[in-house]
Chains A and B, each alone.
Chain A
Amino acid sequence: MAKHEVKQVERVEPGLWEKSYIPEIARGLKVTIGHFLNNLRPNKEKHTTFTREYPDVPTDYYPDRFRGLHRLMLRDDGQVRCVACMCCSTICPANCIHIEAAEHDDPAIEKYPAVFVIDELRCIVCGLCVEACPCDAIRMDSGVHAHPFTDRGEAFLNRDLLMEMGGLSMAKQGGER
């Protein structure tokens, strides 16, 4: 076994000053009250708060590839781009995407998601669904933070909610031919 260098640290025995506690508590309170009074100053620039009132006040900095709530992209005519191939729900490690495919009336579309529900509470925001999507139908670039839910049912975002956040895509549906 390798020889370890052991450094002995001398234990500092508390003196009478520390043992009596009261003066040390007063010293700590001095720091707290100092911050409190400082934050009462009218000039907000001089405040020394380091907490954020999330989620009432969202952070002012999001990275470019920030992954927020999902959104479903739209075709040019406003229909959902998704073709219900289930690639996203297959790859999803959290099993949070539920799709029920159905036959579309339009013969050019063939398959579309009759039901598309994402459980945003289950979602681990990994972004694999976006990578798996073959037709740029699902994205996580809505910029909307998953807000806190008071009811589990609220976290199930259905197809229409997801499409409301969606937009048009540059990609050609069906790929280049």
Chain B
Amino acid sequence: MPKVTINGTEIEVDKGKSILRAAAEAGYDVPHFCYHPALSAPANCRMCLVEIEGVPKLQPGCYSQINDGMVVHTESERVVKARKAVLEFILLNHPVDCPICDQAGECKLQDYYIDYDAQESRVRTEKQNKVKAYPIGPEVVYDGERCILCTRCIRFCQEVTQTDELTIVERGDRAEIRAFPGRELDNNYSMCTVDICPVGALTARDFRFKCRVWLLTSTDSVCTGCSNGCNIHLDHFRNEVQRYRPRYNPEVNDYWMCDEGRLSYKSVHTDRQTEPKVNGATVNWHALAQAVADKLGKVEDPSQIALVISPQATCEDIFLAKRFGEETLGGVQFYLGGKLSGDSDEFLIKADKNPNTRGIEAVFGGTDSLKSFDDLLADMESGAISVLYMSGTDTPCDAETRERFVGLLDGLKLFLHQSPHAGEFADKAHIILPSCTHAEKDGTFINFDGVAQPIYQAFAGYGRSIPDWQIFLRLARAMKKPFDYTFLTQIQEEMFAASQAPEPEPEPEPEAGDDESSAPPPAE
């Protein structure tokens, strides 16, 4: 392998690696705008210029490959001077409207200005005026003045989604990013361009002006939009999810996520039920557990009880639901809930819209022991099921069948509804058990590929909602058959020991902690 010396550090790197990556391996951060590890390197921003001994001119670090015996300086006087000049050039027509720019706080231009430029503008002429707040796509807004023409978004549309919507129009200081005539940036991954935009030129219509980024707290989580399980940063402020951002994980989603999943955070806050209720009366959890224990204890034949397991729940919740059904109640019928399958593509979007179908398979050892939702309807119609314990509001059926299902609920002797959302069941359910969404609890999801991924609690549960696994613990204790758990980790240990989970290790998938926006060239 070729050896290079970077700032006096000798390092062996793979052949064909760029200087920028080699420097990152040696521990030196070379500033860059246009370079993105998942995209090609056009070397047009000139921010990553480095000095190579024996080469008269400075070379772009993102594009130049290392040679054996190369001696590179990334912090020399010439390089620093060049960086300052490049920044001054980029800032010539930049409006410096950081106070109203959504990118302020996570802006590369801001960061590098502080690090390398930090001088007052010497420009005394009018700045070039360009298009402001231009709707370049349904989800994305473009600001021409802030744009530094790094072409990351163009290359994203060319190389990742291969939809080729964007290009540069005009030349020189009038150049702007535009969609081709008659087209707009409306592919399924268009909001990824907002993430990769190093400045505030592309902003998401959804997040625009909503919250300043420095107020956000970020929690590592997993998108629940489909079974792909894209890793996300769940950015929240004052107990409210403000946005999802993809989190780098080469095994699952790389740097990307789809728009639909990105906007699925809204379901966390809509249609929530927050108070435990028995027959419409708000009670506390203790009284509710007693009432449930009393009512379920009176059911003579447990096979009349239907327990609908939702693949929207975490593995821990499903595991406890199974134990609750099999051991505490004894011999109930399990049915598979969840969402109906939807669209899919070859990239990230999967047809199975439930994040944890594989989790059910892992806990139950396949889905054979679970009856389908159609069976539930048939059993309810025939009267074989008189007690329904439903987790989640989703039903894997079309609107018509769902209407039929909702109508059948009136015929039940007892209907327990355990869900974060009310759905149509708020006045149908005899007992309402408000649970937490994935943003409010810890847990594990297993994606379509069998990768077990942890989610972490971002903020406290809405109202008096508690995680599903805690609900089952409370109910089991009220029924005098308590589970031997106190912490989630105990459940996890037992769960992974009990099931033939695809992932043998008890602690799921390690964090692919690398974040594109904070770590420049990740040495992946």
Contacts and interface: CB of A to CB of B under 8 A. Distances in A.
Contacts of B133: 103, 107, 110
A100 to B, nearest CB: 9
B136 to A, nearest CB: 15
Contacts of B208: 103
Interface of B is mostly: loop
A39 interface: no
B99 A85 contact: yes
Among B97, B132, B208, B215, max chain A CB count under 10 A is at B97
B99 A135 contact: yes
Contact of B215 (A86, A107, A111, A134): A86
B127 A84 contact: no
B209 interface: yes
B487 interface: no
Interface of A: 83-87, 90, 101-103, 107, 110-111, 134-135, 174, 177
B126 interface: yes
A32 B132 CA distance: 74
A96 B212 CA distance: 17
A85 B215 contact: no
A110 B212 CA distance: 16
Given A103-B133, A110-B132, A87 B209 contact: no
Interface residues of B, number: 13
A134 B100 CA distance: 10
B209 A90 contact: no
A84 B100 contact: yes
B52 to A, nearest CB: 39
Nearest to A103: B209
B212 A111 contact: no
Nearest to A134: B99
Nearest to B134: A107
Interface string B199-225: 000000000111010110000000000
17 contacts: A83-B99, A83-B100, A85-B212, A86-B212, A87-B99, A90-B212, A90-B214, A101-B209, A102-B209, A103-B133, A103-B208, A103-B209, A107-B133, A111-B100, A111-B209, A135-B99, A177-B126
Interface in B107-131: 126-127
Contacts of B215: 86, 90
A177 B127 contact: yes
Contacts of B99: 83, 85, 87, 134-135
A110 B127 CA distance: 18
Given A84-B100, A134-B99, A107 B132 contact: yes
Contacts of B214: 90
A110 B126 CA distance: 20
Contacts of B210: 101
A83 B126 CA distance: 22
Nearest to A133: B99
Given A84-B100, A90-B212, A110-B100, 12 more contacts: A84-B209, A85-B212, A86-B215, A87-B99, A90-B215, A103-B133, A103-B209, A107-B133, A110-B133, A111-B100, A135-B99, A177-B127
A103 B206 CA distance: 12
B76 to A, nearest CB: 35
Interface string B132-157: 11000000000000000000000000
Contacts of A87: 99
Contacts of A84: 100, 209
* Shortest beta-carbon contacts, A-B, top 4: A85-B99, A101-B209, A111-B100, A86-B212
Contacts of B132: 107, 110
A87 B210 CA distance: 14
Contacts of B126: 177
A90 B215 CA distance: 8
Contacts of A135: 99
Contact of B100 (A85, A90, A107, A177): A85
A61 B187 CA distance: 65
Most buried by B among A83, A90, A134, A177: A177
Interface string B171-215: 000000000000000000000000000000000000011101011
Contacts of A107: 132-133
A84 B97 CA distance: 12
B192 to A, nearest CB: 23
A101 B104 CA distance: 15
Nearest to A111: B100
A83 B212 CA distance: 13
Contacts of B97: 174
B511 to A, nearest CB: 29
A35 B45 CA distance: 82
B215 to A, nearest CB: 7
Contacts of A86: 212, 215
Counting chain A CB atoms within 10 Å of each CB, the highest count among B97, B100, B126, B210 belongs to: B100
A83 B101 CA distance: 10
Q: Pick from A83, A86, A90, A135 the residue with the most CB of B within 10 Å.
A: A86
A177 B94 CA distance: 11
A177 B79 CA distance: 29
A86 B133 CA distance: 20
A110 B209 CA distance: 10
Contacts of A174: 97
A1 B208 CA distance: 64
A125 to B, nearest CB: 23
